Amino acid sequence: MSYLAVLESLGLELLPVPKPIGNFRNFVRTGSLIFISGQGPREADGSMHQGKVGRDVAPADAYRHAQLTGLNVLSVLADAVGDLGRVSQVVKLLGLVNATEDFTGHPDVINGCSDLFTRVFGEIGQHARSAIGVASLPNNITVEIEAIFELRA
């Protein structure tokens, strides 16, 4: 089964890739590695989920925002390499959660993305990861995730 078919079976499809909001690229490839710049919880219509987790946004909703952010990461990846079948390993995620200072469930939130990647890619979707809380994120988005993938030749 193709990775796109797996996404479809989950009721998901790749999203339009946004232009960067600053002086950077959505991805950089070096050798067999591709680095995907931080993506946010952007819906297909371009709207973004905003707010502070632990005050404005419930952790369960933030988990879904991290899953959506993971879908945006995959959309950038597919746009960059043409075929998700070229992925040989999800290497690393960095997940940032816009949270109140007393919120401690950052790993649970970023599991939204990690769970998506393991559902889509299986064993090669297992990755190293950091999940941290921050005082703010651009445009007050709830989560931002960047990723590193290894590609087949």
First-to-last C-alpha distance (Å) of the chain = 20
Give the containing element (helix H, strand E) for 64: helix 59-81
pLDDT in tens, 55-101: 999 999 999 999 999 999 999 999 999 999 999 999 999 999 999 99
Confidence class for position 1, pLDDT limits 50, 70, 90: low
- In a domain? residue 65: yes
pLDDT in tens, 94-142: 999 999 999 999 999 999 999 999 999 999 999 999 999 999 999 999 9
CATH of the domain at 111: 3.30.1330.40
What is the tally of structural domains in the chain? 1
For residue 50, the enclosing domain spans 3-15+33-151
Among 69, 85, 86, 83, which Cα is nearest to 147's? 69
Q: For the purposes of burial, counting CB atoms within 10 Å of the CB of 82, is it exposed (0-12), middle (13-18) or buried (19 or more)? A: exposed
Residues 6+ apart with CB under 8 A from 105: 53, 54, 59
Q: Taking 80 as the threshold, does the pLDDT of residue 54 lie above it?
A: yes
pLDDT for position 45: 95
What is the mean pLDDT of the segment spanning 12-33? 94
